Chain A
């Protein structure tokens, strides 16, 4: 089984540009989670989505950040007008169901660098 696929692995943007990060969950998984890891820090939850629905976005910055998980295709994390502080590793995870007994499986992340 293919794991969680994220692309691109590395993304370089200039300040003010837009960044789009994609995540394809594991086969059979309909729950997607995005996390951000700043340099030398732990992972921080950003948003939890099911197909076509945002369930919990309590960890998302209020401005410039948005996420979607359409009926068809990958989940997208979009960052508008990027700033230097957005430089981080962004990880996506997926699970089969929203249950304490269902582990989240992670992709290898997208490293975003802002020039």
Chain B
């Protein structure tokens, strides 16, 4: 599985967009980019995933660069409840492949 790198932390103001970057320069053609978040000690929550095209759902948007070496998760209107650790993961289903959670990025939304 491709290794992903994320900043350690970032913050944003409530009501503003939160843009969380992720680098995955060694991603292979069959690996999807997945985003999960973990709020305090709850279970990881699936947010969104994509392969090549940008994706949007009710929670967030995922922007993947054309060369697929990086992506950005966008929370359009961050709320205090979006404060969490966000994980960017490159994942495919193949022999010995598994979801690998790194350290993630801690997003703090301030009032």
Interface residues on A, range: 20 to 34
In the complex with contacts A56-B96, A56-B98, A103-B44 CB distance below 8 A: no
From residue B46, how far is it (CB to closest CB) to chain A in Å?
5
Is B41 an interface position by the 8 A CB rule?
A: yes
Contact in complex: A42, B93 (CB < 8 Å): no
Q: Which chain B positions have C-beta within 8 A of A93? A: 43-44, 99
Q: Tell me which of A48, A56, A100, A105 has the highest count of chain B C-beta atoms within 10 A of its own C-beta.
A: A100
With CB as the reference atom, state the residue of chain A lying closest to B98.
Answer: A45
Contact in complex: A59, B98 (CB < 8 Å): yes
Is B100 an interface position by the 8 A CB rule?
A: yes
Contact in complex: B98, A91 (CB < 8 Å): no
Tell me the count of chain B residues lying within 8 A, CB to CB, of chain A: 25
Contact in complex: B101, A103 (CB < 8 Å): no
Is A108 an interface position by the 8 A CB rule?
A: yes
Contact in complex: A42, B103 (CB < 8 Å): yes
Q: Which chain A positions have C-beta within 8 A of B51? A: 100-101
For A58, give its contact among B42, B96, B99, B101 (CB under 8 Å): B96
Question: Complex: how many Å from CA A33 to CA B98?
Answer: 10
Docked complex: B22-72 residues within 8 A CB-CB of A? 30-32, 34, 36, 41-46, 49, 51
Q: Tell me which of A43, A58, A93 has the highest count of chain B C-beta atoms within 10 A of its own C-beta.
A: A43
Please report the number of residue pairs spanning A and B whose Cβ atoms sit closer than 8 angstroms.
Answer: 59
Contact in complex: A42, B91 (CB < 8 Å): no
Question: Complex: how many Å from CA A108 to CA B93?
Answer: 24
Q: Which chain A positions have C-beta within 8 A of B103? A: 42
From residue B38, how far is it (CB to closest CB) to chain A in Å?
8
From residue B84, how far is it (CB to closest CB) to chain A in Å?
13
Question: Complex: how many Å from CA A4 to CA B44?
Answer: 11
Docked complex: A1-60 residues within 8 A CB-CB of B? 4, 33, 35, 42-45, 48, 56, 58-59
Given contacts A42-B102, A59-B98, A106-B44, could you give 4 more A-B pairs where the C-beta distance is less than 8 Å? Answer: A43-B44, A91-B44, A93-B99, A100-B92
Interface residues of A (CB under 8 A from B): 4, 33, 35, 42-45, 48, 56, 58-59, 89, 91, 93, 98-101, 103-109, 111
